[in-house]
């Protein structure tokens, strides 16, 4: 969020959603050159609310990126270790990775806890296998 007050007392508020890149702004001016205490309080409360929403979007975005990185790193490790896995196990893990990638595509707007649960689920499945191979 960006707040700017020019020399004429016009307040310009601009907000950008980091996850989607969407931006919106509003210019607030007062003919009397002053805002009432109620207006100032309302604006401050709205700014606090938007800040909290931005923080939640940021956490969700970071969790989603972390999950994507985990899936792609697991895929790379699996491909490198295919000879140690054997064909059946390699196909099974590759199938699970493809399923995880499809899940990511189908759940682009999933809530933070859903993304975190999916990561935990995949770690519980893959970590024992990958640890044995390394």
CATH assignment of 59-133, given 3.40.50.300, 3.90.1710.10, 1.20.1270.10, 1.25.40.10? 1.20.1270.10
Q: What would the two tokens of residue 107 be?
A: 């759940």
The domain spans of the chain are 2-49, 59-133
pLDDT band with cut points at 50, 70 and 90 for residue 75 = confident
What is the average pLDDT score of the chain? 84
H or E stretch at 16: strand 11-16
Residue range 13-66, pLDDT digits in tens: 888 888 888 888 888 776 566 677 888 889 999 999 999 999 999 999 999 999
DSSP state of 19: T
Give the percent of the chain with pLDDT over 70.
Answer: 93
* pLDDT of 7 over the 80 cut: no
pTM attached to this predicted model: 0.62
Expressed in percent and rounded to 5, the helix, strand and coil fractions of the chain are 65, 10, 20
Under DSSP, is residue 20 helix (H, G, I), strand (E, B) or coil? coil
């Amino acid at each position: 969020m960006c707040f700017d007050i020019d020399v004429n007392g016009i307040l310009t508020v601009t907000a950008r959603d980091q996850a989607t890149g969407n931006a919106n702004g509003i210019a607030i001016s007062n003919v009397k050159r002053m805002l009432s205490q109620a207006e100032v309080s309302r604006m401050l409360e709205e700014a606090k609310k938007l800040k909290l929403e931005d923080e939640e979007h940021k956490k969700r975005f970071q969790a989603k990126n972390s999950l994507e990185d985990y899936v792609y790193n697991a895929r790379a490790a699996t491909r490198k270790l295919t000879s140690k896995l054997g064909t059946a196990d390699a196909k099974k893990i590759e199938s699970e990775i493809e399923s995880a990638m499809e899940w990511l595509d189908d759940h682009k707007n999933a809530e933070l806890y859903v993304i975190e649960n999916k990561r935990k689920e995949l770690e519980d499945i893959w970590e024992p296998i990958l640890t044995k191979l390394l």
